[in-house]
């Protein structure tokens, strides 16, 4: 069993909910990016491992949605997560970097939007 990075453990333990979501997005983007390179290089076992971990992250993000409070926004996010998840499943089965790239596009967009909406301090007096 791999040991966790103590710094990352501390970071996660002290993070706000918004920061935790940002960490999930960052981890997903990093893993898919690496998996795409691995698929192109023919290292299917390592690519599969990274894509499967990303699928787990997407499931965690989906489980965090509050459909009651989030309404249409939560429903739209759920559809985006579903799309990305399905693309990753297909990328694993077909060993196809293009399918993983489709998922990456969604994850990068969501990561960037999340950073902008939740992590960038609002302008004072704006």
Pick the CATH number of 17-119 from 2.40.160.210, 1.20.120.340, 1.10.1510.10, 1.10.3720.10: 1.20.120.340
pLDDT at site 15: 79
> Which residue is associated with the tokens 């898919």?
32
Residue listed under structure tokens 């985006």: 80
Crossing angle of the two packed helices 44-63 and 97-114, in degrees rounded to 10: 40
pLDDT score for 125:
47
pLDDT value at position 76? 96
From the first residue on, what is the mean pLDDT of each consecutive set of 10 residues in the chain (126 residues)? 59 79 95 98 97 97 92 95 98 97 98 86 51
pLDDT of residue 4: 59
Sorted by sequence, the CB contacts under 8 Å of residue 48 that are 6+ apart come out as 35, 92
Q: Please tell me the predicted confidence (pLDDT) of residue 124.
A: 47
pLDDT reported for residue 122: 53
């Amino acid at each position: 069993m791999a040991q966790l990075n103590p710094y990352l453990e501390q970071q996660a333990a002290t993070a706000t909910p918004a920061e935790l979501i940002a960490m999930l997005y960052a981890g997903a983007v990093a893993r898919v990016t690496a998996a795409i390179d691995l698929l192109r290089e023919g290292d299917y076992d390592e690519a599969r491992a990274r894509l499967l971990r990303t699928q787990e992250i997407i499931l965690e993000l989906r489980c965090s949605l509050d459909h009651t409070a989030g309404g249409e926004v939560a429903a739209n996010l759920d559809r985006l997560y579903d799309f990305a998840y399905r693309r990753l499943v297909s990328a694993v089965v077909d060993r196809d970097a293009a399918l993983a790239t489709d998922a990456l596009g969604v994850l990068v967009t969501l990561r960037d939007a999340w950073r902008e909406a939740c992590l960038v301090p609002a302008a004072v007096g704006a």
